[in-house]
A and B are shown apart, each in its own frame.
Chain A
Amino acid sequence: MTATVGISAVVNGETRESQVEPRTLLVHWLRDELGLTGTHVGCDTTNCGACTVHLDGEAVKSCTVLAVQADGREVTTIEGLGSAGALHPLQEAFREKHGLQCGFCTPGMIMAAAELLERNPSPSDEEIRHGLEGNLCRCTGYHNIVEAVKAAAAQGVRA
């Protein structure tokens, strides 16, 4: 079998250590090793954004990041964004505005939107649409996703 490499990363606030094949993608480490299946795989070519997570606070497509690149860094996934008792405003807004249907793109969409609002707390419609350009949704036509991001922005985003 292929040689493995040790990695250690803080995932959703908790230090996680693993031996991984060097070719392991961050998304596969999260899903297959850590059981964080909220991060999805939709395309293999970094187009769809279903695998979007935060790496040191920056939204990245975890299908295009090797797990070893997360070594020593902080990763936040959809599971770490809010909790059942205290949802992130974006999570609440996606439900309130019907910004999801099948829900498959939703975790990546919310993670991308969260970083967008960190950078730009009150984006225009156009800025939202361009900010989410890297995340594909086949169900909603994006209309209600934009409404959700606007609603969350209006409430102010918790850090």
Chain B
Amino acid sequence: MSIGAPMKRKEDPRMITGRGRYTDNIALPGMLHAAIVRSPEAHAAIVSMDTSAARERPGVVAVLTGEEMASDFAGPLAMVWAPPGVEIKTPEHWPLKRGQVKHVGDPVAVVVAASRGVAVDAAEDVVVEYDPKPAVVDPEAALEDGAPLVWEEFGTNQTHEWAVGGGDIEAALAEADVTVEHRFVNHRTSGAPIEPRCSIAEPRGDGVTLYSTTQIPHITRFVLGGMLGIPEDKLRVIAPDVGGGFGAKLQVYAEEALMVALARRLGRPVKWTETRSEHMTTSHHGRDQINYVTLGAKRDGTVTGCRARIIADLGAYQQLLTPFIPTLGFPVMGGCYRFPAIDLHFTGVFTNKMCTDAIRGAGRPEATYWIELMMDRLADELGMDRLELRRKNFIPKEEFPFETALGIVYDSGDYHGTLDRLLETFDLEEFRREQASLRAQGKLRGVGISTYVEVCGLAPSRAVGPQGVGLQAAFYESANVRVTPTGSVTVFSGASPHGQGLDTSFAQIAGELLGVDPENVQVLHGDTDQGAWGWGTYGSRSLAVGGEAVARASRKVQEKAKRICAALLEAAPEDIELAEGAFRVKGSPDKSMSMAEIAGAAHIPPNELPADIEPGLEESSFYDPENFVFPFGAHACVVEVDPETGKVEVVRYVAVDDCGPAINPMLIDGQVHGGIVHAIGQALYEQVVYDEEGQLVTGTFVDYALPTAAELPGFETDRTVTPSPVNSLGVKGIGEAGTIAATPAVAAAVLDALEPLGVKDLDMPFTPMRVWQAIEEAKGRGDGPRPSEQGRPLGEHGASGSGPASPAEGGGA
């Protein structure tokens, strides 16, 4: 059950029996509970705060305002992108606000009490007087002259501009026979892991231990240490079992800093657990871009160039990666295609909303959405088959590694291969026949096909670090592989999984390379006091970077084991092979040792080893990849639209992905399924909506609709295998691929279903109301007063941030 096997997960036994150790399950002796007082205003000055009633409530231990805690923090929350030559406006962002609030949910005070109930009651006793100011919620309106300013000191709501390109875009568009232009909206979404955030800080001697629901324990220690003036040896961060992240826990949050500060002040453990409404309000959001795209092509379908102007709504502050996330999509803004010229321009915008940051896919779903829908539009304009247009522009597999116009080197690919495989399973011609007969019965069925490439395996440090794109970070990953005297193995990884199953897949890698049953390999992570520094889990990096580190450390151990084995069997080290789970002399399979025997010799007694071999059996690797990896695939989605209600149902979904060779195919399927549903959620149901005053309308799961089992079909998944040359395992990430591929497939399917009604433009999410309105409008019956959606009048620009204005708006080819 080593590499390639669908090994059952080592994580599961505790989780299926209710014995998972999630942060909120931890109760420490003497633990206090915190509740946070938050702004109900989107933009206001704090006139006064009265905490006296809260302090008097029995059971309350402390009530602290931003002013009162100012001296607790040596520095503000971190933002780590400093692109060379570009200034990013970055306001000071303190855990508790002083003087002003900039979005609903901005924290202004914290209450600590003996129980959570008392803390919540006392938080309601805190009286805060606000002087409201005008709020701005639409990013395009925010860029207009005279718009209310989120930060007056900057004199503008524009945070920064960043551009990248390659090839001569002006010439490319001039030589095009056909150009298509369109405005796309990638609306704001929430990560919404089912586990809310939770942080517990525990004073320990002269230090503090922070238990937190995080994807990045080591980064969190580094950032909090700086913020709070705590040396790293005095601050331990532990990510226990983490109940999903999806990027929402790739952050260093105000509440984490607050809990550490409170534990230091009060000398007792302090716990804060997010309510779901707090999650919707103050865990960072994702997406929220408007994309203006131009694509030019020759009459034969050869694309000459692509230009995109990307307006990114960043919210009110800059969190860890806030301004960088739109840019993270740029390496694949040419899709699977040989575009000779690409020109990209990004504008970041402040609004009075929660910050955006990384949510599953992080910049790449947004990009793939408009790339794929633009290819459909271009094909329609040319009167060409949509897949034929793609095939005409695909980078052929012989040309990999392929350097794109943006200077990005795609490592390997076979885009025709995944599309061919998709069409073997999904008979497009048969579907078209079925569609025609259903249309004759008044039924609206449509198909959308997306072909995607994604960039992941974050990241080659030289490409994205200070000398590259400008993140003040590196992105190698660490692994330490330790064999115990009896031949069990412990792997310490700097990755920090939260559902990906790395305890299993990393055990398979180490087991294979060490001749040990993966059941006897334990994988430890998520504790800054164990193992080396690590960069955490996000960006579909854990296998391609962290797994490769495990492989490299394991091979070092294997080499040493061979030397020990050779010495004991009186053979040359180069004559020892690891085969069938044993270290044996080549050509003399009867002369062999198990890892347990070698490990025993390595530890007890060491004097049996030759003098040039140190005792012990443990090695480390810090692996920094030379390039990203580029998984790819082709997805087909079939939807049916109810013309009477506008309800969209996904009736079939076929996915063919290529992430290189499988370590555990069962885990790959699981990641693809979940990724697809995340995208279906965005396409059909989920949207973070703020009203014109900046009030959050979607503050609970009642208003923010995650997909349920009842809305979804089963999935048909398949894979092709094109190894990556970047790492020794040949692997590519697969955690985000489904989310990247599926939004354009769903959107194209909805538009295809609506095609007979003349609906050509419609932005996500395709809620029944929005689809029904588009149908009515296309029928010419939509002229009367239009109902509002979630408190927001339709057809007016600027009411909801980046929600679409109307189906009729948005350029068009």
Interfacial residues, chain A to chain B (CB-CB below 8 A): 1, 21, 23, 31-32, 35-45, 47-48, 50, 77-79, 82-84, 87, 91-92, 94-96, 98, 100-107, 110, 125, 128-130, 132-146
Contacts and interface: CB of A to CB of B under 8 A. Distances in A.
A11 to B, nearest CB: 13
B576 to A, nearest CB: 37
B701 interface: yes
B708 A133 contact: yes
B331 to A, nearest CB: 26
Interface in B100-117: 117
Contacts of B426: none
Given A40-B243, A42-B196, A142-B677, 13 more contacts: A44-B275, A94-B16, A98-B667, A100-B12, A101-B674, A103-B15, A104-B22, A105-B194, A134-B708, A141-B738, A142-B673, A143-B714, A144-B670
B244 interface: yes
Nearest to A88: B16
Contacts of A83: 17
A105 B275 CA distance: 16
A98 B669 contact: yes
With most chain A CB atoms within 10 A of its CB, the pick from B15, B676, B709 is B709
B682 to A, nearest CB: 12
A141 B195 contact: no
A87 B709 contact: no
B20 interface: yes
A104 B710 contact: no
A98 B670 contact: yes
Interface string B653-684: 00000000000001101100111111000000
Contacts of B12: 94-95, 100, 103
A130 B9 CA distance: 27
Interface in B190-207: 192-196
Most A Cβ at <10 Å: residue of B194, B500, B670, B677 = B194
Contact of B194 (A21, A133, A138, A145): A138
Nearest to B118: A1
Given A91-B16, A110-B16, A142-B712, A101 B501 contact: yes
B811 to A, nearest CB: 33
A130 B709 CA distance: 7
Given A136-B708, A139-B499, A143-B715, A44 B277 contact: yes
Interface in B26-48: 27
Given A94-B12, A96-B8, A45 B708 contact: no
B518 to A, nearest CB: 15
B276 interface: yes
21 contacts: A35-B27, A40-B194, A42-B196, A43-B194, A45-B700, A45-B701, A98-B666, A102-B241, A103-B241, A130-B709, A132-B710, A136-B701, A138-B244, A139-B670, A140-B670, A140-B673, A141-B673, A141-B676, A143-B673, A143-B715, A145-B709
Nearest to B198: A41
B710 A77 contact: no
B467 interface: no
Contacts of B19: 38, 79
Given A43-B700, A95-B16, A102 B9 contact: no
B342 interface: no
A100 B674 contact: no
A101 B24 contact: no
Interface residues of B, number: 58
A98 B702 contact: no
Contacts of B17: 38, 78-79, 82-84, 87, 91
A125 B243 CA distance: 26
Nearest to A125: B714
Contacts of B9: 95, 98
A23 to B, nearest CB: 7
Contacts of B273: 41
B709 A138 contact: no
Interface string B343-375: 000000000000000000000000000000000
Nearest to B59: A1
Contacts of B16: 78, 87, 91-92, 94-95, 100, 103, 106-107, 110
A138 B666 contact: no
Given A78-B17, A133-B708, A43 B701 contact: yes
A141 B630 CA distance: 23
B243 A103 contact: yes
Nearest to A77: B18
B246 interface: yes
Contacts of A136: 194, 701, 706, 708
B714 to A, nearest CB: 5
A136 B677 CA distance: 12
A138 B701 contact: no
A69 to B, nearest CB: 18
Contacts of B25: 31, 37
Given A37-B25, A101-B244, A136-B701, A42 B18 contact: no
Contacts of A100: 12, 15-16
Nearest to A134: B708
A42 B499 contact: no
B709 A129 contact: yes
Nearest to A133: B710
Contacts of A50: 194
Contacts of A87: 16-17
A103 B499 CA distance: 7
A128 B709 contact: yes
Contacts of B276: 42-45, 48
A101 B195 contact: no
Contact of A41 (B24, B117, B738): B24
B578 interface: no
Interface string B242-253: 111010000000
B29 to A, nearest CB: 14
Contacts of B72: none
Contact of A104 (B8, B244, B275): B244
Contact of B243 (A84, A102, A144): A102
B499 A101 contact: yes
B11 interface: yes
Given A47-B700, A50-B194, A138-B674, A130 B18 contact: no
A83 B27 CA distance: 24
Contact of B701 (A48, A91, A98, A125): A48
A95 B13 contact: yes
Would you list the 8 A-B pairs with minimal beta carbon distance, nearest first?
A38-B18, A104-B243, A103-B15, A102-B499, A141-B673, A78-B18, A47-B701, A141-B677
Given A40-B22, A40-B243, A101-B499, A138 B670 contact: no
B715 A104 contact: no
A4 to B, nearest CB: 12
Contacts of B24: 37, 40-41
Contacts of B22: 37, 40, 104
B706 A138 contact: yes
B274 to A, nearest CB: 10
Interface in B482-523: 498-501
Given A95-B16, A101-B670, A133-B708, A45 B194 contact: no
Contacts of A23: 117
Nearest to A97: B666
Contacts of A42: 194-196, 276
A142 B677 CA distance: 9
Contact of B20 (A31, A104, A132, A143): A104
**Which of B17, B499, B677 has most A Cβ within 10 Å?**
B17
A92 to B, nearest CB: 8
Nearest to A42: B194
Nearest to A82: B17
A79 B196 contact: no
Given A79-B18, A136-B194, A146-B709, A102 B701 contact: no
A130 B194 contact: no
Greatest chain B CB density within 10 A among A96, A104, A146 is at A104
B58 interface: yes
